[in-house]
Amino acid sequence: MKLKIAIQKSGRLFEDSVKLLKECGIDLNNGSKSGVLRTEASNFPLEVLFLRDDDIPQYVEDAVADIGIVGENVLLEKGKVVNKVEQLGFGKCRLAIAVPKSEEYTGAKWLDGKKIATSYPKILDGFLKAQKVDAEIHEISGSVEIAPGIGLADAICDLVSSGSTLFMNGLKEVEVILKSEALLISNKKLSDDKEALLKKLLFRVQAVKKAKRNKYILLNAPNERLEAIINILPGMKSPTVLPLAQSGWSSVHSVVQEDDFWNIIENLKAQGAQGILVVPIEKMIV
């Protein structure tokens, strides 16, 4: 028995999805190179299906795949019934409304009576209803950003990451209607065996995610400052403190979070810490 996972066959989620599996210690036999549409892991009971991202929610709902990796934007748009298992921290983007730069956008009411081009009619409709705006949704499947320029629409609703595509097409972002990232999703009714495999995979995914957010830190501390230095370090439980060969000094090891990392380093230096080493963590199990 194998757990079947659907991932994007090529595109923005493909590489990160394969990388995540690899970081979870799962080796795929032949990747998705050269048009292979399915493969098996050599060291985990996992079968990988490579699909268009738009099809993944449906396949997971229908149990053709047990689990899948897909952007929250696609999941919401398709409206399929699946479980959201975990946010994966990659594929970050936003679904935004953009209008021609020259327009003076005064708020959602500006959209009243306008024509909006999008590949996300369902999510857009939800937004417009919530804002009590009556606009016409014009569904197109690609190159949405050129629609205003060719007179097809007054505004667009599309995915944005840096905004450079909008800029190049003479548009400006005026509303963010969804912030999205890749999600691990699962079928609602997995067998107990598959549920157990998913749990095993999820445990690994969480360890990988956690490790990315943390760094291992080693430093030398003068003993008289040891207490002050230990107080700066949050650590998983408490830091490891080992005596150095040079008397009066100790080596301190701990784990710090990326977010407050630079503040911690500055405080440590101010307290007399020396020889500070910061090392990436590969997996973190707490």
What CA–CA distance (Å, rounded) separates 47 from 68? 11
Does 103 bind Zn ion (CB under 5 A)? Our answer is: no
Q: How far is CA 144 from CA 127, 165, 236, in A?
A: 18, 11, 47
What CA–CA distance (Å, rounded) separates 119 from 127? 14
241: number of CA atoms within 13 Å, CB side? 16
Q: Which two tokens stand for residue 206?
A: 């969480």
Taking the least distance from each CB to Zn ion, the nearer of 46 and 159 is 159
Secondary structure (H, E, C), 201-270: HHHHHHHHHHHHHEEEEEEEEEHHHHHHHHHHCCCCCCCEEEECCCCCEEEEEEEEECCCHHHHHHHHHH
Does 77 bind Zn ion (CB under 5 A)? Our answer is: no
Task: Indicate which single residue of 23, 40, 47, 54 sits in contact with ligand ATP (rule: CB under 6 A).
Answer: 54
Applying CB under 6 A, the site for ligand ATP has a residue count of 15
What CA–CA distance (Å, rounded) separates 55 from 192? 25
What CA–CA distance (Å, rounded) separates 214 from 257? 4
The site string for ligand ATP over 81-100 (x = CB under 6 A, - otherwise) reads: ----------x-x-------
Query: Whose CA is closest to 66, among 201, 171, 267?
Result: 201
How far apart are CB 265 and ligand ATP at their closest, in Å?
A: 31
Does 53 bind ligand ATP (CB under 6 A)? Our answer is: yes
Does 158 bind Zn ion (CB under 5 A)? Our answer is: no
Taking the least distance from each CB to Zn ion, the nearer of 78 and 115 is 78
Does 74 bind ligand ATP (CB under 6 A)? Our answer is: yes
Does 78 bind Zn ion (CB under 5 A)? Our answer is: no
Does 195 bind Zn ion (CB under 5 A)? Our answer is: no
Does 53 bind Zn ion (CB under 5 A)? Our answer is: yes
Angle in degrees, CA 105, 133, 103, rounded to 5: 15
Of Zn ion, ligand ATP, none, which one does residue 129 interact with (CB within 5 to 8 Å by kind)? Answer: none
How far apart are CB 194 and ligand ATP at their closest, in Å?
A: 25
Does 180 bind ligand ATP (CB under 6 A)? Our answer is: yes
Taking the least distance from each CB to Zn ion, the nearer of 54 and 103 is 54
SS3 content of the chain, % helix, strand, coil (to 5): 35, 35, 35
Does 161 bind ligand ATP (CB under 6 A)? Our answer is: yes
Of Zn ion, ligand ATP, none, which one does residue 239 interact with (CB within 5 to 8 Å by kind)? Answer: none
Q: Within 10 A of 224 (CB to CB), how many other CB atoms are there? A: 9
Taking the least distance from each CB to ligand ATP, the nearer of 13 and 255 is 13
Contact positions vs Zn ion (CB under 5 A): 53-54
Contact positions vs ligand ATP (CB under 6 A): 8, 11-13, 52-54, 71, 73-74, 91, 93, 159, 161, 180
